[in-house]
Structure 1
Amino acid sequence: MRVHLGWLRKLVGIDVSLDMLMDRLTMTGTEVEEVIAPAGASSGILIAQAEDVLPHPAKPNLSVVTVNYRSGKATVVTGARNVEVGGLFPYAPPGARIFDGAELSVRPFGGVDSHGMLLSCQELGLDGLDSSGGLLRLPSDAPVGEDFLNWAELDQPVLDLSITPNRGDLCSMLGVAREVSALTGADLLPVEMPDINWSDDDWTNRFQLKVSDDGCWKYLLGFGEVKFVGESPFFDRLKLVLAGMRPLNNVVDPTNLAMLLFGHPLHAFDAGRLPSNSVEVRGAVSGETIRTLDGRDRELQDKDILICSNRIPIAIAGVMGGEETEVKHDTKMILLESAVFDPARVSVTSRRLGITSQAAFRYSRSVDWGASEAAALYALGKMSQGGAVVVGRGFLKHQEDFRIDRRISLRLSSLKRVLLMDSLEQACDILEALGFKGEELSPSHAVFSVPSWRSDVEGEEDLIEEVGRVRGYHLVEPRIPGNLRGRGVIPRDFELSNSLRRLAISRGYVEVVTYSFTSPEELGALGVPHEGSPCIVNPISREHLMMRPLIVVGLIRGLKGNLSSGWRKPIRMFETGNVFSSQGEDHHIAGLVFVGKDTRSVHGERVREDFFTVKSDVAAMLELCGVEASWIRGREPFGHAGQTAHIIVGGVKVGFLCRLKPSIERELGVDEGAFVFELNMDGILNGQLPKFGGSSRFPSVSRDMAIMVASDVPAVQVENAIRQLMDPQLAVAVELFDVYMGRGWPEGAKSLAFSVVYRHPERTLRDDEVDQVHFTLRQKLQDRGYTLR
């Protein structure tokens, strides 16, 4: 926010240097990003009056002007069309400098010497201050001969303040004045409210107000009969330009001035262009459209708030007005809106539509609900200056008793613990200087009433923060922490999580961090359903509208970004973090492996990644956690149909491993192959780590068997059947060592060859014993319906 020091001095009696003021603001959380000289390098510019205007004798497009600047007269040649006898203008005599630093001198123009020049807005760096496009016209009471920069207070700097999202109160000149008063001890000065030209007409019977959306917390409508629409007074326009805004006319400019002063946005509707005499605040219907003041058609959603007349949208609440009811030169009646809307909903609408208006900026940070009527009266008073608008008495109101009463207790013990302060009285002085009212004071605690403009203060810790930052954190003496109460114990899940990270890094993966946010479009491109994904109330952009249901979404986005920047080498990356659903959140670990585009190597053909090399990485993670997992064929919306596996622990799916489906690989440009995996760490961190015993003194004996099954039967299913049927006293292991399909084998069938290991814990087995046990196992498998070769 831009704060002109000249305007600020009219609100607070600043008696400190500029450097000290900037230091206090910055060190208390309101960073001064830039100090702007509004006049640039201008100097020596005077206020002069045109006494005579004659056409140039040789150049018909120029005029020769005799100017009086009190201490002398000069002849000036100008091409401006708005120069007139008696007019007052900024005059740069020889030796003066204009905004860009150029020094003026005596210059001939077609035989006539011009002694300096009369200045326009552009030469002063004040674009938009004068709508005529010619010389900058000054008010008739401007003192001739005075220094223009001093008279217009352009010698006072403009501070560009960085306002944090929680300090909506600092989006106003009054808010900054309160802050400066508390930081420097300077006295606040009363706000000069303009006189209002009242009408006796009871206008409230001619209009109706209805509010049907709970996102509108307060709504006021004022009325004015417009006598003429023209240019605002000079100093009003100058305030807007110095604040970075463009003056428009004497009806719209006062609403912006009130917004800058009170931080409360206002909007003026052309009442004669309303579809009816009713004004309604309601929620938008999805797909509804409105053409806003910037001339663009906007499509709305059902979370947006609309201002309507006869059900026809005339403004997007808190964001921007509609083009149809814009105040124009022929406007005869206005309705002035002063409202309080739900900050979260205004912020969502503003970001989604890409409208960064001054009103949306302030509504998103919350406005002072107690200033609604004062801001409206200030704007109406400004409008009525010079008889431009006759103001109707009273307001149409919704929730006129709207208020938020917050009382917060501050304990001396809390001050001692956090700030090492022994004086509750000093804390009370600081808080009262910020606008908090002490209501119950005692030696041990105090109760404060929170002012309407401080919506960010909700609890005792906020009061302590206010005291600490204004008092100065440098006054809090450093101290050594006391003795720990006992040994800290690292939880097993935290320790295992770190072990998994170290394992992944040791196997060549690089840890990355991606956004926890995603969008419906990004999930839709991967085929991932997003109906249950939690949405962000105040998203930073359309691409970050909801919380991620899977980490691999961000990893695939990272792969795409690397490839688009020209990366061609293999990629192995992983991430740990939370994923979100309607049931809550889980902690996951996910990885992505890309085989790379450039396979050249001075050492010959290198080993290429495939499904099984990545599977070995995942298997190592599962083994580290002490879980026994089953791998079964599965399906994922983004997974290759023939290279997707689900990981099962205790009958529950805890993760997956897959190659990206061909259509996604083609879209990413990774036809060489990309693999992703993801594990729910909450489902694998409770495994039992293996316990090792002594080695057996007796040898083992192996027997093989081949089983014919249908080609779609998973090998793990057969292996589990063998484990269930084999003798638990003698059989100690079973392992698949061959799979055969094809020539010489029935179509739709396959052969699975297993090796069963036998060992007796106390003696050496005889061959006939092993043969008998193995024969029994084969019989049991045949009884189950398996065909053995």
Structure 2
Amino acid sequence: MRVSINWLKEFVDIPVTSAELADRLTLAGVAVDRIDKPSAGVTGVVTGRVVEVRPHPNADRLLIAAVDIGGEILQIVTGAANFKVGDVVPVAPVGATLAGDLAIRRAKFRGVESWGMMCAADELGIGDDHEGILILPSDTPVGVAAGPILGLDDEILELDLTPNRGDCLSVLGVAREVATLLGKPLKRRKPAFPELDLQAQRMVRVDIEDPRLCSRYVARVLVDVRVGPSPLWMQTRLFTAGVRPISNIVDVTNYVMLELGQPQHAFDYDAVHNAHVIVRRARPGETLVTLDGNERSLAPDMLLITDPRTVIGVAGVMGGLDSEVTADTRRVLLESACFNPVSIRRTSRALGLRSEASIRFEKGVDPEGCLKAADRALELMQIIGAGHAAAGAVDVYPDPYTPRTLIVRPERVEEILGLAVPAKTIRDILERLEFAPRETGGRFLVRVPSHRTDVFREIDLIEEVARIHGYHRIPDTLPFGVTVPGVRTKAQVLESRLRELLVACGLTEVITYTFTNRKVFDRLRLPGTSPLRRTVPLRNPLNEDQTEMRTLLYPSLLDVLARNYQRRNTNAALFEIGRVYHPRDNAPLPEEGLRLAAALMGRTPAGWRRKDEPLDFFFLKGVLESVAREIGLETLTFTAEQDEPSFHPGRTARLRAGEANLGIIGELHPEVLEAYDLPPGVVVTEIDLDLVLAVDKKTPTFVPLPRFPSVERDLALVIRKDIPAREVMALIRKAGGELLRELRLFDVYEGRQIREGYRNLGFSLVFRAEDRTLTDEEVGRYLEAIIRTLEDTYGAQLRA
């Protein structure tokens, strides 16, 4: 919520600076995020009248204007064309500065000198319009500073309101807070304006079919309407509040909404059949083309504004296109109503429409303020010459507001706050907040005003006393009771460690949506019977591509890779730790699983003295082995997998730890790559972290540095290709006994020197004893035992 200081001053005197006011409001629970000065840096701007306009001799799109700034005529070259002789405009002569630290200097455009600039709204910091020069009212004095006229001296408070303080979504609501905090009276005035002999009650009929969803509906009528731009002062205030001006009628409704907190809507009176307004729930199959031009399907739980023929608006959210006010509108039906907050919130979310009006209705508006706001709107419309008001209003109020009555006990205030607040102070605070307290038997009987829709209990009133009296006055106390230190769960510890390790291995973490759609399963080539196709659907999806909860994690990473690849970022190594969701029979909530997924494509970055490497299966396998070793999962093995439809056969493996199937790693199937428009060789993995947590992991232990030297030997074997290297290594470790400390595969070779169906495996072996230095003869015996075992088991031969 953006609140103008100048606007606030129309409701309450403010003898303090904006900074001090912001501090006072923040301490009272109405947080001010920052103080914005939209026109900071704008200096030297004056008003001027255009006295001559002629075309530029050397440029078709430029004009030369002579502008009188109070006795001095400036020649200005401009590209704007929305002004004419006689218009009064803001002028920045040479030496002036504009928004964005733009300093005005003498310039020459196509051979013609320019001695200043006629300004648009955005150049003055009062809007975002740059389509043309800002035209001031014709009676604006010439040659005077433009700052006071345009409100350039204003400051804007940006509020961060809590959900319960809907009453502060207006200048009046904030002014109430300011008046209370500063001890100043709130300036009130009743709207006053002439009315025609026409009676609104004879011109409009209003029926409310469901009073629970619409507790009050006020309709007023404006005739002799002249639709056009609103005056500059009104546009400026709307700009500073973050609302774009549209036309005088619409601008007035927005102005009153910002001022009083009551949203309103203007209908073209002649577009409402028989001028009969019906407030009812939607019927099956009904639709409406809203003001944004989109056709909306309406559900039976949505509250609508209709006439006897058709729907003309979604209550509290947005009006219909067919009944909007246009340049041809001559009569306006003005709506000012109070709708059920829950109904508006549900409708707004279901339609994906969220507006300033719906936000206010969601938080609750003052039911007693509907007629006051309608009267204020008609007053403004007549002030700016937009039309004339018909007499009276149609006010349908089935269940008038009855003030809630609460009791406040001073002793209870002291008990809750730990601070003795005098009864006189409590009474004074409640009176300033318009709660009308009445003392009886040492207690206060309080009547809750209609604009405080958030106050229901005594504790709410105690909070009001605390924030106005000052939270800083409540004494500090030490907490009491049994406290325990917070600790992370095993899953949280694992997640944190995995992130550290994967980043250290060169991968980048991403966070993706947990939503997907059924098309993903077709792109992954999953059969129709796959249990992964059984998903949890979303009732209110963000869009058509996010309609289900995901059952796999890595497809989200493929989307990220595809977006990068399309933008010529062909090298990427990504990972995500997130959850997948599977429906459970006869259970309201799905089963959640914690997963780790990674996806790689391209090559590693090259550097000085470092060549680039392919981000392939073996790179990712090495990453997983390194990570497994660091977390104590030393039993991790890779088993060839041929039957995964999403993966390339022969280039895929299962990750296992004992009997636990932890996940999969491999290259994607060419058809999957084509579906995602990805290059060949993309590798992915997905691991079930819940199973990783369940697997017994070795606790890291520290051993002293060896006292005796080690002996290294290399072993080159020719062995059949169908024998996995991990089985060979397991056999070497078994035959090597306890003296074999390290074993590493350093070479795999297939070529002309090796016969068909065989390959060469090169191993590095490290032997070491803890109590002595090993001799060559002793190491040789162990090496011979290893070779005999390999020969007997696999028919392996030493390579010459």
* Cα deviation digits, residues 28-82 of structure 1 (max 9, x gap): 33332333222242111112233x3152573576555443333644343445434
Report the equivalent of 1:36. 36
Contact persistence 2:180–2:433 (CA under 8 A): yes
| Aligned equivalent of 1:228, options 226, 247, 250 | 226
Q: What are the within-5 Å matches in structure 2 for residues 242-641 of structure 1?
A: 242-385=240-383, 387-399=385-397, 401-422=399-420, 423-443=422-442, 445-480=443-478, 556=551, 601=625, 606-607=636-637
Contact persistence 2:215–2:399 (CA under 8 A): no
| Aligned equivalent of 1:143, options 131, 141, 144 | 141
Report the equivalent of 2:198. 201
Q: Aligned partner of 2:208: which letter?
A: V
| Distance of aligned partners of 1:159 and 1:217 in 2 relative to their CA distance in 1, 3 Å threshold | same
Alpha-carbon distance between aligned partners in 1 of 2:304 and 2:22, rounded to the nearest angstrom: 40
| Distance of aligned partners of 1:101 and 1:408 in 2 relative to their CA distance in 1, 3 Å threshold | same
Contact persistence 1:199–1:390 (CA under 8 A): yes
| Distance of aligned partners of 1:191 and 1:93 in 2 relative to their CA distance in 1, 3 Å threshold | farther
Deviation, structure 1 residue 406 = 1.1
In structure 1, list runs of 5 or more residues that go unmatched: 491-497, 547-552, 611-656, 679-789
| Distance of aligned partners of 1:358 and 1:593 in 2 relative to their CA distance in 1, 3 Å threshold | closer
Contact persistence 2:348–2:354 (CA under 8 A): yes
Deviation, structure 1 residue 234 = 1.8
Deviation, structure 1 residue 676 = 10
SS class of match (1:175): helix
| Distance of aligned partners of 1:504 and 1:430 in 2 relative to their CA distance in 1, 3 Å threshold | closer
Moved over 6 A (4+): 501-511, 517-522, 524-531, 539-543, 557-560, 562-575, 579-586, 588-597, 602-605, 657-660, 665-678
Deviation, structure 1 residue 529 = 9.6
In structure 2, list runs of 5 or more residues that go unmatched: 500-510, 522-530, 562-571, 600-616, 641-660, 677-681, 692-800
| Distance of aligned partners of 1:24 and 1:505 in 2 relative to their CA distance in 1, 3 Å threshold | closer
Report the equivalent of 1:219. 217
Contact persistence 2:535–2:549 (CA under 8 A): no
Query: What is the TM-score when the length of structure 2 is the normalising length?
Result: 0.64
Q: Aligned partner of 1:30: which letter?
A: V
Deviation, structure 1 residue 589 = 9.3
SS class of match (2:452): coil
Deviation, structure 1 residue 659 = 11
Q: Aligned partner of 1:344: which letter?
A: V
Alpha-carbon distance between aligned partners in 2 of 1:359 and 1:574, rounded to the nearest angstrom: 37
Query: What is the TM-score when the length of structure 1 is the normalising length?
Result: 0.65
Report the equivalent of 1:100. 100
| Distance of aligned partners of 1:208 and 1:559 in 2 relative to their CA distance in 1, 3 Å threshold | same
| Distance of aligned partners of 1:49 and 1:676 in 2 relative to their CA distance in 1, 3 Å threshold | closer
| Distance of aligned partners of 1:141 and 1:400 in 2 relative to their CA distance in 1, 3 Å threshold | farther
State the identity as a percent: 31
Q: CA RMSD in A?
A: 4.9
Q: Confirm whether residue 48 of structure 1 aligns to residue 45 of structure 2.
A: no
Q: Aligned partner of 1:471: which letter?
A: H
Q: Aligned partner of 1:209: which letter?
A: V
| Distance of aligned partners of 1:518 and 1:54 in 2 relative to their CA distance in 1, 3 Å threshold | closer
* Cα deviation digits, residues 295-332 of structure 1 (max 9, x gap): 11111222211111124111111111110011000101
Report the equivalent of 1:774. none
Deviation, structure 1 residue 429 = 1.7
Contact persistence 2:554–2:684 (CA under 8 A): no
Contact persistence 2:282–2:301 (CA under 8 A): yes
Deviation, structure 1 residue 238 = 1.4
Deviation, structure 1 residue 121 = 2.4
* Cα deviation digits, residues 101-128 of structure 1 (max 9, x gap): 2222333456654332222324323446
Alpha-carbon distance between aligned partners in 2 of 1:417 and 1:336, rounded to the nearest angstrom: 49
| Distance of aligned partners of 1:75 and 1:36 in 2 relative to their CA distance in 1, 3 Å threshold | same
SS class of match (1:200): strand
Q: Aligned partner of 1:406: which letter?
A: R
Report the equivalent of 1:713. none
| Distance of aligned partners of 1:96 and 1:507 in 2 relative to their CA distance in 1, 3 Å threshold | closer
| Distance of aligned partners of 1:430 and 1:74 in 2 relative to their CA distance in 1, 3 Å threshold | same
Report the equivalent of 1:682. none
| Distance of aligned partners of 1:541 and 1:462 in 2 relative to their CA distance in 1, 3 Å threshold | farther
Alpha-carbon distance between aligned partners in 2 of 1:583 and 1:435, rounded to the nearest angstrom: 49
| Distance of aligned partners of 1:11 and 1:541 in 2 relative to their CA distance in 1, 3 Å threshold | farther
Alpha-carbon distance between aligned partners in 1 of 2:384 and 2:105, rounded to the nearest angstrom: 40
Report the equivalent of 1:69. 69
Alpha-carbon distance between aligned partners in 2 of 1:406 and 1:305, rounded to the nearest angstrom: 27
SS class of match (1:140): coil
Alpha-carbon distance between aligned partners in 2 of 1:207 and 1:398, rounded to the nearest angstrom: 11
Report the equivalent of 1:738. none
Q: What are the within-5 Å matches in structure 2 for residues 94-173 of structure 1?
A: 94-109=94-109, 113-127=113-127, 133-173=131-171
Q: What are the within-5 Å matches in structure 2 for residues 672-683 of structure 1?
A: none
